[in-house]
Amino acid sequence: MLKVELRSLEHEDLVLEEKGWAKSLGIDLEPKLTAEPLEIYCELSKNDDLISAKGWVKGKMILSCDRCLKDFENPYKSFFEVRYRSQKVEEDPEGVETFPEEHYEIVYFDGTLLDVADQVRQTILLTVPMRALCREDCRGLCGSCGINLNSETCQCSEPPSDSRWSALKNWKAE
């Protein structure tokens, strides 16, 4: 598990090295995002009331290509760094919560256990590419017949015409 008791950080830094399936490590993710067991490395250190956690997560995810719709494996290794504080945000005299500028990257938590699983989950979710391609030169699907142009040659004569552009067919620039 990726939970650490705060008292174990009082006298020395701690290193977490875990390998296992996301669910067994307490990380809630879709199965396609963890196609193999995850490898997690995290260094934890305490300085006054701040706990610093930095490390990486390595694994494979199954993505669907945005051009040809074929599933493919995407290996990844993503790094993270976060600071935790075990107290709530202080309130100013008028009762309005204030967030000092230097504390924007701090995660607040309650209790005597620090759970790094949520940070690992966020790191994996941020690793998912905005545009997933099975390969850089993926040709995608034919717009007419739907055949995968990476594996077969399309027999369509020409792309279908779009009637919305017919008014511009005879237009000439002056």
Q: Is residue 154 part of a domain?
A: no
Q: Is residue 161 part of a domain?
A: no
Could you list the residue range(s) of the whole structural domain that residue 35 is in?
3-138
Q: What is the mean pLDDT of residues 148-155?
A: 89
Question: What pLDDT is stored for residue 92 in this prediction?
Answer: 52
Q: Is residue 158 part of a domain?
A: no
Q: Is residue 24 part of a domain?
A: yes
Q: Which residues of 85-105 are buried (b: 16+ CB within 10 A; e: fewer)?
A: eeeeeeeeeeeeeeeeeeeee
Give how many domains the chain has, as a whole number.
Answer: 1
DSSP string for 55-90:
EEEEEEEEEE-TTT--EEEEEEEEEEEEEEESSPPP
Q: Is residue 107 part of a domain?
A: yes
In the block, residue with structure tokens 């699907």: 141
pLDDT (tens digit per residue) in 75-129: 999 999 999 887 654 555 555 555 554 555 788 888 888 888 989 999 999 999 9
pLDDT(43) > 80: yes
Question: What pLDDT is stored for residue 95 in this prediction?
Answer: 53
Average pLDDT over the chain, rounded to whole?
A: 85
Q: Is residue 152 part of a domain?
A: no
Q: Is residue 104 part of a domain?
A: yes
Q: Is residue 50 part of a domain?
A: yes
In the block, residue with structure tokens 């598990």: 1
